[in-house]
Amino acid sequence: MAYQTPSTLAGWLAIAPTAGLSTQNFVPTSLYAQALTVGQRHIPAGASATWPILCQAFLISRGMIYWESQPGDCGSSDFDVSSLGFQATQAGGQVASGIAAMAGASLPGIGAAVQAITQIFQNHANAVITEEKTLCQMMGVINTVIPYYDRQVALGNISPSDALAGMQNYLAQVQAKLSTIAKKCNAACVYIGTLQAHADFCGIYYPLLAPAQNSPHAPGAPPSTVGTVPGGVIQVGTVGGSAVGSALTQPVNPSGYNSTPTVSATTFSSTELLIILAVVAGLIFLASEAL
């Protein structure tokens, strides 16, 4: 009995691991709707009505899902992810040319992935492998490359803008290869659309993946925490306790001289405060009697 292709997002995501896509690499659920919107921008002519859901699942799972007869029958990819890291130490991308060389300029090591795709389609052109095997092998490379560079962005090793430019160029190279076997609208046609959507979605996802950058507290800037004077050193301590508020930080002196006095604030215990309040109340009472 032929395998029934999923028609729902949940169905596609459930079989993503059979294509080597780890659920740990899925995008946050807060981006699911945006993934669908991006997919709807790249629907190929002649695609089925459920294509946007398929594309949404590919973007969420950070790769592609393909099989010959049933999910998982493509087997594991023989593309070694360590080749990306190895070439990065060897001025990666130098083996590539054209669009691939442009990708290598901002994606260290991408030349290895370009070579792999080039070889796969060369084998197909030479009738060494079938179209189905071609797509299986291509999927294995793509499903290694996209999560790998996602991690590089998340670790801060590549800037979102460089990663986006490189990934868009790399995916354009793969699309060009796919177009040589695309028909109306066969599997290759479907995957051209999903690669275009991946290149688009990276522009949304990469900036969110990148580590947050802490800006320095500029001289004269408004206080950023409780107890910090304008332009002062940010206070560290317990808000509301004696650690914060026991003394005000000396402000920055632009002239370079320590001419601004330090303003201190004394702290009191609860008992001491009650005694002080009682004395003040007594003085007020005596003053009113005298009047």
Q: How far apart are CA 9 and CA 247, in angstroms?
A: 57
Residue 3 in domain = no
Q: How far apart are CA 219 and CA 228, in angstroms?
A: 12
State which of 209, 231, 251 marks the end of a domain: 209
Residue 58's pLDDT is: 96
Whether residue 256 sits in one domain with residue 189: no
What pTM value is reported for the model? 0.64
Residue 268's pLDDT is: 57
Query: Total structural domains in the chain?
Result: 2
Residue 96 in domain = yes
Whether residue 173 sits in one domain with residue 226: no
Which ranges of the chain have pLDDT less than 50? 86-105, 215, 217, 224-228, 231-265
Residue 127 in domain = yes
Backbone φ, ψ for residue 264 (5° rounding): -105, 150
Query: Which residues lie across from 264 on neighbouring strands?
Result: 247
Tens of pLDDT, residues 178-194: 777 766 556 667 788 89
Whether residue 74 sits in one domain with residue 37: yes
State which of 176, 209, 242 marks the end of a domain: 209
Residue 177 in domain = yes
Whether residue 288 sits in one domain with residue 195: no
Residue 143 in domain = yes
Structure tokens given for 169: 């160029």
In Å, what is the CA distance from 213 to each residue of 152, 159, 208, 235?
A: 16, 12, 12, 19
Whether residue 173 sits in one domain with residue 76: yes
E-assigned strand segments in the chain: none
Short-list 15, 62, 23, CA closest to 197? 62
Whether residue 134 sits in one domain with residue 68: yes
Residue 156 in domain = yes
Residue 254's pLDDT is: 41
> 260: domain range?
222-291
Whether residue 205 sits in one domain with residue 112: yes
Residue 240's pLDDT is: 41
Residue 17's pLDDT is: 95
Residue 55 in domain = yes
State which of 209, 239, 261 marks the end of a domain: 209
Residue 2 in domain = no
Whether residue 107 sits in one domain with residue 28: yes
Whether residue 138 sits in one domain with residue 66: yes
Whether residue 144 sits in one domain with residue 84: yes
Q: Based on C-alpha coordinates, what's the Rg of the chain?
A: 30
Whether residue 233 sits in one domain with residue 90: no
Whether residue 180 sits in one domain with residue 260: no
